[in-house]
Amino acid sequence: MRRNTRTAIVVAGTAALALSACGGGGFDKGSGAAQQSAGAASLTILIGSSGAAETTAVTAAADAWAKKSGNTAKVVVASDLNQQLGQGFAGGAPPDVFYADAARIGDFAKAGNLYAYGDQVKDAGFLDSLVQTYTVDGKLQCAPKDYSTLALVINTDLWTKAGLTDADLPKDWAGLEAAAKKLTTGGATGLVVSGEWARLGVFMRQAGGWVVSSDGKTVTADSPENLAGLQEAQKLLKSGVMKYAKQVDAGWGGEALGKAKAAMTIEGNWIRGALTKDYPTIKTKVVELPAGPKGKGTLLFSNCWGIAAKSKNQAAAVDLVKSLTATEQQLAFAKAFGVMPSTTEGAKQFTAAYPQDEAFVKGGDYGVGPVNLPGFDPVMAAFNTDLEQLATKDPKTILATLQKNGDAALKGQ
């Protein structure tokens, strides 16, 4: 499933209005014991599905838990997950359990929409990077469902045609520049990416920077490290060896790669399913992104199993989540629709079963998730607008604007 951050931000911004409207409206902040209605629980689970395979797998897992526990569980596939969650929260009747995007956790927590049950699942062995992603105000809000990271995906036919071998796989920025230059021909561009923070942010990470501090208390956008990262991306754009997907008439990097308009792209593991479905003859190789001056860096995307603060079946919901995040169940999800398990043990077994995706898995050790602070959706949307003009716009100006907007959002919390 391709993660289209630009679309998600627009939708999330709409839902945020509903969420902020109900903030402070008497919702349980999730700090007490779990609620549980008398008798068997009847849970509603709202998911944003990538297709029939995911829906079938989640439904089967929920049914198995229900049969074993004596409860009932109904899986509902959202047509617009953020909008439907916003409506449920605002109306006081949210689903018991739901997919929650990493970038929305801060907003959900601030509005009092979440039952923060993380202390009940903290021994599951979740990846440290995911625990940090879903921690707000020192509390793990929810159990990470799965994750994906960005890696370098290469069209091996074009790679070989250019006379490149495994010895040329880029280990650093200089190697990336050299490979992209050699791969750029009349018909293809060496590297094609989406022009948004959710792709270009890897350069900031590799330079040692990011939008906020690791504790989420300070905006760190206007830094020498972030400047170095954006300058490297700008250098690639100006030289013509990297282009945005829309510049090659593609909707995203995967499409550009599939149409042989790109020799390389920076994408997540969802690209495998998309290429298999739409471009089955394309052969690819996936490697970790090259290191920058401060080492390796990538971005991490994930959902967690949110539990509503208004749910009357919180104890049963936590039990369900424990079942859904068990290693065996996560590996079944991986087989069914390609997601990577959120636990250390699950990731280890996933790598053994799918060695071709090892680069994606490794990124979980050092990847960073989206900014999860409340009110940051508009900030990152404005950052995307500036990044679309990165080839011609001063990176210092872009970062100064990001810093200003980020400080204002942080101050408004």
3-state secondary structure of 383: helix
> Digits of tens for pLDDT over the chain (413 positions)?
344 443 333 333 333 333 333 333 333 334 456 766 657 899 999 999 999 999 999 999 999 999 999 999 999 999 999 999 999 999 999 999 999 999 999 999 999 999 999 999 989 999 999 999 999 999 999 999 999 999 999 999 999 999 999 999 999 999 999 999 999 998 999 999 999 999 999 999 999 999 999 988 999 999 999 999 999 999 999 999 999 999 999 999 999 999 999 999 999 999 998 999 999 999 999 999 999 999 999 999 999 999 999 999 999 999 999 999 999 999 999 999 999 999 999 999 999 999 999 999 999 999 999 999 999 999 999 999 999 999 999 999 999 999 999 999 999 87
Token output for 260: 């042989």
Measured between alpha carbons, how far is 260 from 161 in angstroms, rounded to an integer? 12
Chosen CATH of 149-299+374-411 out of 3.40.50.11540, 3.40.190.10, 1.10.630.10, 3.30.70.120 = 3.40.190.10
Q: H helices within 240-376, ranges in order?
A: 253-258, 271-278, 314-324, 327-337, 344-353, 358-362
* Domain range summary for the chain, segments of one domain joined by +: 5-147+302-365, 149-299+374-411
Q: What pLDDT score was predicted for residue 40?
A: 87
Per-residue pLDDT, 10: 34
Phi, psi of 263 (to 5 degrees): -90, -30
- Residue 287 to residues 170, 177, 202, 206, 342: CA-CA distances in angstroms? 9, 16, 14, 15, 20
Kind and range of the H or E element at 238? helix 224-239
Residue 208 in tokens: 């040692």
Q: What share of the chain is helix, strand, coil (3-state, %, to 5)?
A: 50, 20, 35
Answer yes or no: same fold for 5-147+302-365 and 149-299+374-411: yes
Identify the pLDDT of residue 32.
56
Domain 5-147+302-365 class, CATH top level: alpha beta
